[in-house]
Structure formats: C-alpha cells, structure tokens
Structure 1
Amino acid sequence: MPNQASENFFPGNTDLGESYEQKGRFASYWHQIDEITRLDPRSCLEIGVGTRFVATYLRLRRPQMQLSTLDINPELQPDLVGSVLDIPCEDQAFDVSSCCQVLEHLPFDDFLPALRELKRVTRSKLVLSLPDLRRRYPLLVKIPKLPEVRVLLELPQLFPQKWEFNGEHHWNIGVRDYPLERILEAFDVVGLRLEKTYCVFEFPWHRFFVLGK
C-alpha cells in the first residue's frame, strides 16, 4: 500500500489526517493478508511497498512463500523497482499478485493497462483493493449465545460528489463518473473474473476484490 501523509478527504471521517496507521487500516491489512493466505500461493507479488506491514508479516508467518515487492520508488528498497504499468517480470511469474490501495494514484486512463499488466504476470489470482467513497455505516449486533451479526448499511447516492485530484487520488469508486459498475466492466474487458468483493467492516472506504484469470 502506498505511503500517504493523510487521507482526510474521506467523507464523514475527520480523524484520518491525524495518523495514517489507525485501527481500521490494520483491519484492511488483515484482509489483504487473509485473502493472500487463503489462496495458499507458492509465490506472490505485492505492488506498493508502503509501510511494509503486509510483506513483513507474510515473510514471518509464511516463510515458504516466495514474496516479492514492487514499487516505483527505489528509496523504499523494494525487491523490484518498476511501475505497475510495466512490471519487470516474465508472464505468469507469480501465483498471486496483490495490489491494494495503489491504482487510484494513477489516472483512470491507466486503469485498464495496469489491470492487463497485473493479469500478465499473475498465474492464478489477483487480490485488489480500491477506495470506495459511498457512505456506509457499520452495524454490529451482539446477542448472548447467538452468532455476531455485522452489516454495512449503505445510503443511496442521489447526487454523487464530483472528484478532483487532491494530490493523492485521481479517482475513487462511488464519486461522479466512477460507479462500481465501471470498475466491474473494466475487469470484464481485460478478462479477469470477479470471485468476491466486499468492503472492510472496520474501514468501509476500502473495497476488496478477488479476481481469477
């Protein structure tokens, strides 16, 4: 995940600018790790070095998995220096690729080329997450002796906000001109099959996708 100074542009969340590493973001890291480990890959490519939390944890807990990191910034000391638009690897080099909270930092015109490049280097599955700014409110119900119920209540969007580049994100799901349907259509165009998608309960602005070839 990219290292950002703040994300205080998320609607209804005024404390995001105080600290990049907050509890909800670690929940997002957990889901990224969980989706990767569920796939049980022998090799994995992580796009974006960010805080190194995910890579450090995976290397500690799954030493048998060959993990490589890629980032365009050599100062972050990734295993591979390069762009997601031109990954310096052979076709199908990795069982799984993970690209979380990265592609929104590129202009949307680069979204399809980036997906094609990720598909090219991936043998099996792609774990992807993108910001989804539609308003959701978590509802947690706990009743003794009954399973816990977690629901994200989404408010209808009658007039999606217009998004302007803020120095970090060029676009986000749920703003004007970028509905979720446009993202799903892009997956179809490049031949990626949607296997699951969901928003993180503790951090509803992060939407995960698991995609197959």
Structure 2
Amino acid sequence: MPGIIAPYVTAWSAEQDLPCTLVERADGSIGFAKELPSDRDRHGVLWQQTALRHRVGRPEFARVHPLRQRRAMELLLCQVCGGPADVNDDGVLWLQRDYRGDWPQWPNGMASVEPPVCLACVPVAMHMCPALQRGAVTVRVEDCPVVGVRGVLYKKSVLAPAVAAAGNFTYDDPAVRRVVASAVIRELRGCVVVPLDEPSGTATRSLSRSGPRAT
C-alpha cells in the first residue's frame, strides 16, 4: 500500500519505554507507583508503558509497539496498515511463517502475538519481511479468542520487584498478576491454509481444539 514504510505495529525510535517504578501491592500483585487506570487492560493486567510517537524518528523493525499491537489484536486490525483485517466465511486472514512441519494440523492451537492482515498488505508484508521470504503461508482462522499476554514476570525482592522470567501467560494463570505485559495473545483455532497467491480462497479445514501452543 502506498506510503507505508514500516508496519503499523512497529515501534519507532522516538517511542521508548517510559520510566515506571514497580511496587508490591497488598494483594500480592505488582503495580506502578504512580499508576493510572489506563495502565491495565480489561483483565486487570499491568502493561508496559511506551511513548506514543508513531512515525517519529526511524522505524525499529525488531521492536513492536505494545499499545498498537494490543489495539490491532483486540480489534483485529491489519498489522501492516492498521486498517481492518480481511474476513470472509472461512475466518480472519493471518500471514505466518511456514512451520507446517511443527505438528499435525498446524497452526491449530497456536498462541499468536502477531496480528492478522488485510488482502492488500499480503504482498507488502512479503516484500518487507526477509523472514517471510524464507517461507510463508496465508491462513484463514475461524476462531481466535484472546487468551492471555506475553510479558515479563516479576518476583518479590528486597527493595523492589525483580525480573524473574519472560514468557506467555494465560489470563487464568495466577502468575499474570505479577506480569508487565507487552503483547496480546490470541489462540488460532479452526485454521485453513490457503494459497499465497489466492488468500481469499479456501482449503480443507483442520479442527484441532488442543490447548494453545506458543509461537
């Protein structure tokens, strides 16, 4: 699409993480010392606070902006242009690295932090992303519930909460109360792999309903 020089979810050099002091809360969770209601999602999970200065400076393709990723995943927006993702009778369109050898019926059950795409942006993404050029597939996803977040888990320490581990956390995991999130996770279910040159088409549907597998 004309004018796009970086995907919508990409962070720019002017969008650095904001300094936020972590504190212990009486209920055993963590919070920010000067916390605002907007610092948490609707599930009560704390989110990384990052400056919002889209298209200021230079794109940093290795970083994803937490707020734009969250918005794209919650509203099912195209990760490239930020407009609505493509949807037809077979589901929402995703563009993925081709890992069909990972498990039978891939990518059913995959926990994805990558938002979907629109039809027009499939060739754009293929042109922009060297990883996709090494092998990619378009997938129609029948059901893609939000199931959790990717972020950093903090443990109790003497002076302040300290980093314990980074990973994926479901919303029903008690540990999520001590996580600073940076990405929304959707589980991909009822997937149909379709030809890259015909992403509006369909193929045989896989119906695995196993638990989410990490990307």
TM-score bucket (shorter structure): under 0.3
Tell me which protein shows more helix as a share of its residues: 1
Greater RCO, 1 or 2 (C-alpha within 8 Å, sep 6+): 2
- Please, what TM-score do these two structures have when normalized by structure 2? 0.26
